[in-house]
């Protein structure tokens, strides 16, 4: 029984030493593009970002058409590129491109489309928009960018329009057990429990003095 109590206490004390992310809110954006047609294998500037009605969590009450800034994606891949989007109202985001699929084909035949998916991870600090209530603290954030170009008619020559969908997700931190800490705490508790049991056994085996 004592061993169980010590082990349970060790696990409880070890909790809260690590951090896990949980979603605070998300917000979708429309954007203008330059160039607005052509291949997805060249650098593309995204500008005139405006929020849509696709919003959740603490961002769900933000007015539609809230403006953001602009940025450029390198080509043919933007992996490891630093992205900065700044706006005094909506706030500042700085992150690094962690994945960029480059241009790939989705579908076959006349329904085929060219796609490019990009994920940027970094920090977002809310701006002076009254909706944020003066909260300017940095938050973990991820920006996903989905670029699409419909293929031109066979033999696939010429340019067609490019479209883009952006989503910003913001995260908070929650305390969770750190696996390595749990292992160390449980090991130490087990050693202490074993030592206690051995002492009790030796005491029981020693004849009482008369």
The pLDDT value given to residue 4: 45
Q: DSSP letters along 192-207, please?
A: HHHHHHHHHHHHHHSP
Q: What is the mean pLDDT of each run of 10 residues along the chain (210 residues)?
A: 45 46 92 92 95 95 94 95 96 97 86 91 95 87 94 64 95 60 49 55 55
- Does the global pTM surpass 0.95? no
Quick one: 50 exposed, middle or buried, by C-beta within 10 A (0-12, 13-18, 19+)? middle
Bridge partners, residue 25, by sequence: 57, 170
Residue 204 lies in a domain: no
Residue 145 lies in a domain: yes
Residue 24 lies in a domain: yes
Q: In terms of residue numbers, what domain contains 166? A: 20-176
Nearest-angstrom CA–CA distance, 157 and 75:
20
The pLDDT value given to residue 11: 42
Q: Would you give the end-to-end CA distance of the chain in angstroms?
A: 32
Q: How many domains does the chain have?
A: 1
Residue 207 lies in a domain: no
Contact by Cβ (8 Å): 147, 40: yes
Nearest-angstrom CA–CA distance, 92 and 84:
7
Instruction: Tell me 153's DSSP state.
Output: S
Cα distances from 158 to residues 39, 161, 176, in angstroms, run 10, 10, 54
Residue 206 lies in a domain: no
Residue 163 lies in a domain: yes
The pLDDT value given to residue 134: 82
Residue 78 lies in a domain: yes
Contact by Cβ (8 Å): 51, 66: yes
In 3D, which of 53, 52, 46 has the Cα closest to residue 69? Answer: 46
In three-state secondary structure terms, 131 is helix
Residue 7 lies in a domain: no
Bridge partners, residue 16, by sequence: none
For the chain, what is the largest distance between any 2 Cα atoms, rounded to a whole number of angstroms? 106
């Amino acid at each position: 029984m004592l061993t169980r109590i010590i082990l349970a206490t060790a696990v409880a004390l070890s909790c809260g030493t690590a951090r896990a992310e949980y979603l605070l809110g998300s917000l979708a954006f429309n954007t203008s593009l330059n160039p607005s047609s052509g291949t997805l294998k060249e650098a593309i500037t995204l500008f005139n970002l405006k929020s849509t009605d696709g919003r959740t969590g603490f961002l769900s009450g933000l007015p539609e058409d809230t403006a953001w800034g602009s940025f450029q994606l390198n080509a043919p891949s933007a992996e490891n590129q630093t992205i900065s989007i700044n706006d005094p109202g909506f706030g500042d985001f700085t992150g690094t491109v962690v994945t960029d699929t480059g241009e790939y084909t989705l579908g076959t035949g006349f329904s085929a489309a060219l796609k490019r998916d990009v994920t940027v991870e970094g920090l977002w600090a809310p701006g002076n928009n009254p909706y944020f209530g003066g909260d300017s603290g940095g938050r973990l954030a991820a920006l996903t960018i989905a670029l699409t170009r419909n293929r031109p008619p066979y033999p696939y020559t010429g340019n067609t329009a490019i479209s883009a969908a952006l989503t910003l997700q913001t995260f908070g931190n929650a305390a969770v057990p750190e696996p390595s800490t749990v292992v160390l705490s449980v090991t130490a508790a087990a050693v202490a429990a074993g030592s206690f049991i051995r002492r009790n056994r030796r005491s029981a085996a020693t004849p009482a003095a008369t």
